[in-house]
Structure 1
């Protein structure tokens, strides 16, 4: 079986997150989840997550099918994280389709993009709540 790794912010945790993490876990015997640190999220999106990195890590770690979590501090270190955790398979949502194809060549880790749950987006949830 494979060691599966995935990355994400997983802010305002919702059923779409559960579904993609569960599908990723079913592809191997271990699921390692790299959570974007608060600083990385700010750098990527220009805002801090709603929930702190420690709260998000606690939520993700509580899932029975997650083996381990860690904080991703830099997008440029993705290959290093994959090597550090000896991952066999990188799983990402299909909104990232093609963006991590380079990983296989650099780390010998397979890459798979899974379809996201339609009509569910953290950004959309935050916008709806802000409008209330």
Structure 2
């Protein structure tokens, strides 16, 4: 039986931290499906700079990803129901509450566990592992 894994995120300005998260998520199962948050649904941080389609296409181009899609406009669990994964992989620093996600999955009749990926330590001194840090560096050096 194939184990599907779902990872999700904003993925604005892809960086090595995103690649680490998605590669680790892919290693948790046989297929990795990634849900890219819609710009309109991102409320916990700044709105993504890149369009939904561009972020989806960039994530989908990564070797670890079997399928990438833009999230549902109203129900963040709708794509998860369609994919029917065995595992949801959260990024190490994502704001989501794993217990609340598991409760909602049970409520919807989905047999799925939630795991959290590990952090990626910078491999060299000036490596940037967050979109915010990349934007700050661009503003500092080009503004």
TM-score for both structures, normalised by structure 2: 0.79
Contact 2:72 / 2:78 at 8 angstroms: preserved in 1?
no
Match of 1:126 in 2: 135
| Distance in 1 (alpha carbons) for counterparts of 2:8 and 2:121 | 19
| Distance in 1 (alpha carbons) for counterparts of 2:14 and 2:95 | 22
| Counterpart check, 1:113 vs 2:113 | no
| Distance in 2 (alpha carbons) for counterparts of 1:73 and 1:53 | 11
Q: Who wins on radius of gyration, i.e. which is larger?
A: 2
Point out where structure 1 has 5 or more consecutive residues left out of the alignment: none
Match of 2:17 in 1: 16
Deviation for aligned residue 1:81: 2.4
Q: How many residues align?
A: 129
| Distance in 1 (alpha carbons) for counterparts of 2:41 and 2:139 | 23
Deviation for aligned residue 1:97: 6.8
Root mean square deviation of aligned Cα: 2.0
| Structure that is richer in strand per residue | 1
Distance of aligned partners of 1:102 and 1:48 in 2 relative to their CA distance in 1, 3 Å threshold: closer
Distance of aligned partners of 1:121 and 1:63 in 2 relative to their CA distance in 1, 3 Å threshold: same
Contact 2:7 / 2:35 at 8 angstroms: preserved in 1?
yes
Deviations 1:11-59 (A, max 9, x none): 1111111111011001111101000112123x343x4322211111111
Contact 2:3 / 2:85 at 8 angstroms: preserved in 1?
yes
Q: Which runs of 4+ in 1 moved over 3 A?
A: none
Deviation for aligned residue 1:80: 2.8
